[in-house]
Amino acid sequence: MQNPTAAMLVIGDEILSGRTRDANMYYLAGQLTEAGIDLKEVRVVSDDAPAIVAAVKALSGAFDTVFTSGGIGPTHDDITADCIAAAFDDHIDVRADARALLQAHYDRNGQELNDARLRMARIPDTAMLIDNPVSIAPGFTVQNVHVMAGVPRVFEAMVASVLPTLTGGAPLLSQTLRIDRGEGDIAGPLGALAADFDDLSIGSYPFQKDGKYGANIVIRGQDGARIDAAMTRLKADFPE
Amino acid sequence: MQNPTAAMLVIGDEILSGRTRDANMYYLAGQLTEAGIDLKEVRVVSDDAPAIVAAVKALSGAFDTVFTSGGIGPTHDDITADCIAAAFDDHIDVRADARALLQAHYDRNGQELNDARLRMARIPDTAMLIDNPVSIAPGFTVQNVHVMAGVPRVFEAMVASVLPTLTGGAPLLSQTLRIDRGEGDIAGPLGALAADFDDLSIGSYPFQKDGKYGANIVIRGQDGARIDAAMTRLKADFPE
């Protein structure tokens, strides 16, 4: 059976300018693999409305589930919520449920719910809120798109709120064998193995360390016994 | 004057499965920023021919320059070169110039240029080779697409081979101010600043550390004097 598919859209000039190294993509990829959801594509776009709207439409149409990261804070460059509304022809304004969450939070902390903070209560009409136990301002879900914050701690908390609501597939199992030979020596037998085990995904990830070549061979699939069988043959092909 | 634009296509199941954290995107983003080339979009797709071909066509048509990373080694899962040929309706086979490079390299090392290694000499007819001083097997350029290896050391060496051949723009300058207040307190004056300095890009990157909120405000642009002026006003808005 085919696992559900997913895509991720990272919204953020800070990744594209090289200022920040991605963390959320790496985190989400690991979580989805465990949940049996196949992450098929990631796009990173800048804080540019037409680019965000086009990517949301394309990914939402092509995959079962889409996760976005970034651009839902209180500052002028936070335009994700309005772009999601535009992508789905949805109406957007400050929503009473989100406003109540923020009002209670800032009242507790003795802070003012000013115009900027109120921007974080702008939620499309048809959206369901995503719980944010870290900093309260909610994410939201419109159709198959889950809109989450870019700050890694908040992103991770929102992923934890969303994942249990999704139907996963069989978790992707994997085994890895490190072979200390060049890929050119490995490729022949490995190609034959991949052809004979075409229900599995067999990848070769070369490395170079201290001037020596090697590769990590990763065998992935949903059937542990098949992976065992392929791994046994791989080890016989390349005895230590 | 508008800087040239670029996109990156990362080909690799290892990123999408969460096995590996991206390094090449982070490296390339920093290099392009220094060179005055605006990285506008990154896509990560799996080792799947239709997905690779579609992404190459889309990015090549939309941006001045495209960089790809991954999938040009000797193993069965290395399908990038054939996908590039397909995307540009180019013919591809083992090419004499690439074969000669590999032959000399393996002769020097007393290794056999077997069928698997010969796959790395499969280069589209219209391509120019990209020098690989690390492990010899070349990258290549077809039209505006530069095809490079995924192993970070080799990727970085190929970027160094390609970058001097590109016409850059004005390097993007930036200054950062860390403000130890919540974004909700910063957003009002920051939005007014962004409106008055609309020739600059002003981003707010919030963080949370030890339970305290803050944000790094990054002001980017090509005109150092304008950035100075905006930074002076920002510091006046938020005295320490």
pLDDT in tens, A29-74: 999 998 999 999 999 999 999 999 999 999 999 999 999 999 999 9
Percentage of chain A modeled with pLDDT above 90: 78
Q: What is the pLDDT of residue B85?
A: 98
Residue B182's SS3 state is coil
Is the pLDDT at A160 greater than 80? The verdict is yes
Is the pLDDT at B121 greater than 90? The verdict is yes
Kindly state the tokens that stand for A10: 């990272």
Cα separation, A173 vs A179, in Å, equals: 20
Residue A188's SS3 state is helix
Nearest to A146 by CA among A135, A137, A164, A158: A158
- Whether A108 contacts A84, CB under 8 Å: no
Residue B52's SS3 state is helix
Q: What is the pLDDT of residue B1?
A: 62
Model confidence, pTM: 0.90
Annotated domain spans of chain A: 5-165, 173-237
| Average of per-residue pLDDT across B123-129 | 98
Which residue of B18, B33, B151 is in closest CB contact with A206? B151
Cα separation, A4 vs A226, in Å, equals: 21
pLDDT band at B170 (very low <50, low <70, confident <90, very high): confident
| A109 shares contact with chain B (CB less than 8 Å) | no
Higher pLDDT, A38 or B172: A38
pLDDT in tens, A180-233: 998 999 999 999 999 999 999 898 888 877 778 889 999 988 899 999 999 999
Q: What is the pLDDT of residue B199?
A: 92
Q: What is the pLDDT of residue B172?
A: 79
| B114 shares contact with chain A (CB less than 8 Å) | yes
How far off is chain A from B164, nearest CA to CA, in Å? 19
Backbone φ, ψ for residue B88 (5° rounding): -110, 15
pLDDT band at A108 (very low <50, low <70, confident <90, very high): very high
Among A160-164, A181-185, B93-97, B209-213, the range scoring the smallest mean pLDDT is B209-213
Question: Any idea how long chain A is?
Answer: 240
CATH of domain B5-165: 3.40.980.10
What CATH class is the domain B173-237? alpha beta
Q: What is the pLDDT of residue A12?
A: 84
The residue among B37, B120, B183, B202 with the most chain A CBs within 10 A of its CB, best to mutate, is B183
Is the pLDDT at A142 greater than 80? The verdict is yes
Contact between chains at A75 and B26 (C-beta distance less than 8 A): no
**Who's near A125: CB < 8 A, 6+ residues apart?**
A90, A91, A92, A95
Q: What is the pLDDT of residue B55?
A: 98
Give the 3-state DSSP-derived string for A95-141, with helices as H, strands as E and coil as C.
Answer: CHHHHHHHHHHHHHCCCCCCHHHHHHHEEECCCEEECCCCCCCCEEE
Q: What is the pLDDT of residue A1?
A: 62
